[in-house]
C-alpha cells in the first residue's frame, strides 16, 4: 500500500455517528411493520424526547431549519418584523428569519463561549423587534437567564436554536436543567449526522404551549386536519380538511426508530464525548497561545464540537492544511452569515460591530471529537496540531 493510500485509510474524520446493530434492528423492525412515513415510531420518539428534556410538548420535523421556520411562524413573525440573532451561526439560523419575510438583526458574541453577548441585545431593540433567536453554539449553552430576562423586560419572544445542544445542561434559576425544557418559548433541535445523536437528518420542536404544538403538527403535514395515524386507525370513514397552508416537514418512522435508539444511548454518548474533551484540554495545554474551550460554571456542555482558538502566530488555513496532510480532518470556525455572498443583497442589520464574530470565524478551528475516537487517534491529533503550531 502506498503512503498516500495508507493516509486515506487511516484518516481521522471530524466526527462520526455512533451506530451499530441496535439501530439496524430498529430500522428492520420498522420496515417489517409496513409503516414507513410519519406514524407510531414518530409519536413514541416525541414522547421520549419530551420526557428526556423536560418539555410538555415535542413535535418531530424534517430538520432543525424547518423547526426554526415553524417556531417563528407560530410567533407571528412576518414582513416588517425584526428578530435579534447572531451572524456567527450556520446560515440556516438567519435563513429561517428570512423565510418569514422578517429581517435578522445581528449582535456580536462573547469570545469565551462563542455565544450571543447578552449585553449587545438591548441596544439592538427597537419598535420593530419581535423576538430573540439565540443559539447554543457547538453545544455550549448561551446565557439564557440574561437573554430571557431582557426579552421579558421588553415583551419579546425567545426561540432557542438548540441544533447542537441535545444533552447540554445549564443552571437556570438555581436548578440544573436540560436545554429544551424550554427556558424561552420554543427550542429547536437537529439530528443531522454531525450532531450528538442522529436520525440521518431531522429535527424536534419543544414548547410548553399546547396551541403552538398543535399548529406545528398541522403545518408539518400540509395543514392536514386529521393525522394519518388517526385516519388509518379510525373505525369510521374520516375526511381530512386543509384549512391552512402547510408544508411537507415530516419525520419518517424509519428516522424516528433510529432516533429512539440514539436517545437511549445518549448518556453513554455524552460520557464518552466529555471524556475526550477532558483529555484534549490536558494534552493541548502544552501549546503556547492556544485557547481551548471552557465551560462557564453554570454550564455542562455536550461537547458537540471541540473548537480551539489558534495562537496569533498561526494561520488558520495553514494549520488546517497541516492537519489534513497528517490525515486529520478539521473545520474552520463557525461561519458568519453577514459575510456570505447570499446576504450581500438580503436585508439584515447590525446595531454595532461584529468584530468578535469575525475573529472567531477567522481564528478558530474545530478538531475531531466523537464517541469512537480512540486515545491513539486523539494523541495523533494533538501531535499534529503541535507540529502545526510550534
Question: Which 3 state secondary structure label does DSSP give 160?
Answer: strand
Instruction: Please report the DSSP string for 79-114 in residue order.
Output: TT-EEEEESBS-THHHHHHHHTT-EEEEE-EETTTT
DSSP state of 335: P
Decide if 228 contacts 37 (C-beta within 8 A). yes
Buried b (16+ CB within 10 A) or exposed e, 190-203: bbbebbbbbbbbbb
Active-site position among 69, 98, 136, 195: 195
Beta bridge partners of 331: 366
Going by C-alpha positions, the residue among 243, 251, 313 that lies closest to residue 67 is 251
Q: How far apart are CA 73 and CA 251, in angstroms?
A: 19
Active site residue 195: yes
Buried b (16+ CB within 10 A) or exposed e, 334-352: bbbbbeeeebeeeebebbe
Residue 186 Cα distances to 144, 342, 346, angstroms: 13, 27, 26
The residues, any chain, with a CB within 8 Å of residue 129's CB and separated by 6 or more, are: 81, 82, 83, 84, 105, 154, 156
Residue whose cell numbers read 431531522: 202
Decide if 368 contacts 15 (C-beta within 8 A). yes
DSSP state of 197: S
Decide if 145 contacts 172 (C-beta within 8 A). yes
Task: Give the number of other CB atoms < 10 A from CB of residue 213.
Answer: 21
Q: Which residues are known catalytic residues?
A: 195
Amino acid at each position: 500500500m502506498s503512503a498516500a493510500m495508507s493516509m486515506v485509510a487511516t484518516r481521522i474524520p471530524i466526527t462520526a455517528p455512533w451506530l451499530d446493530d441496535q439501530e439496524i434492528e430498529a430500522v428492520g423492525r420498522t420496515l417489517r411493520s409496513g409503516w414507513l412515513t410519519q406514524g407510531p415510531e414518530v409519536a413514541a420518539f416525541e414522547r421520549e424526547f419530551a420526557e428526556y428534556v423536560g418539555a410538555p410538548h415535542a413535535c418531530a420535523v424534517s430538520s432543525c431549519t424547518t423547526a426554526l421556520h415553524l417556531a417563528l411562524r407560530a410567533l407571528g413573525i412576518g414582513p416588517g418584523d425584526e428578530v435579534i440573532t447572531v451572524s456567527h451561526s450556520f446560515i440556516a439560523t438567519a435563513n429561517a428569519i428570512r423565510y418569514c419575510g422578517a429581517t435578522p438583526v445581528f449582535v456580536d458574541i462573547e469570545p469565551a463561549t462563542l455565544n450571543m453577548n447578552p449585553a449587545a441585545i438591548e441596544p439592538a431593540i427597537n419598535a420593530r423587534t419581535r423576538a430573540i433567536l439565540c443559539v447554543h453554539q457547538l453545544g455550549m449553552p448561551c446565557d439564557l437567564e440574561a437573554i430571557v430576562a431582557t426579552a421579558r423586560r421588553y415583551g419579546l419572544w425567545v426561540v432557542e436554536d438548540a441544533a447542537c445542544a441535545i444533552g447540554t445542561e445549564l443552571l437556570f434559576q438555581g436548578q440544573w436543567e436540560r436545554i429544551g425544557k424550554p427556558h424561552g418559548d420554543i427550542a429547536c433541535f437537529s439530528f443531522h449526522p454531525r450532531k450528538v445523536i442522529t436520525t440521518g437528518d431531522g429535527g424536534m420542536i419543544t414548547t410548553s404551549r399546547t396551541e403552538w404544538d398543535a399548529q406545528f403538527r398541522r403545518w408539518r403535514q400540509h395543514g392536514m386536519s386529521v393525522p394519518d395515524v388517526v385516519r388509518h386507525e379510525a373505525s369510521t370513514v374520516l375526511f381530512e380538511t386543509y384549512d391552512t397552508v402547510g408544508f411537507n416537514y415530516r419525520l419518517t418512522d424509519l428516522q424516528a426508530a433510529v432516533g429512539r435508539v440514539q436517545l437511549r444511548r445518549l448518556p453513554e454518548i455524552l460520557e464518552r464525548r466529555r471524556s475526550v474533551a477532558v483529555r484534549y484540554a490536558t494534552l493541548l495545554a502544552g501549546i503556547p497561545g492556544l485557547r481551548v474551550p471552557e465551560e462557564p460554571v453554570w454550564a455542562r456542555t455536550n461537547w458537540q464540537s471541540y473548537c480551539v482558538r489558534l495562537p496569533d502566530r498561526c494561520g488558520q488555513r495553514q494549520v488546517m492544511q497541516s492537519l489534513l496532510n497528517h490525515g486529520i480532518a478539521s473545520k474552520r470556525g463557525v461561519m458568519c452569515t453577514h459575510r456570505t455572498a447570499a446576504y450581500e443583497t438580503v436585508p439584515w442589520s447590525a446595531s454595532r460591530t461584529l468584530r468578535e464574530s469575525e475573529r472567531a470565524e477567522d481564528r478558530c478551528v474545530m478538531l475531531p471529537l466523537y464517541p469512537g475516537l480512540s486515545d491513539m487517534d486523539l494523541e495523533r491529533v494533538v501531535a499534529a496540531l503541535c507540529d502545526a503550531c510550534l
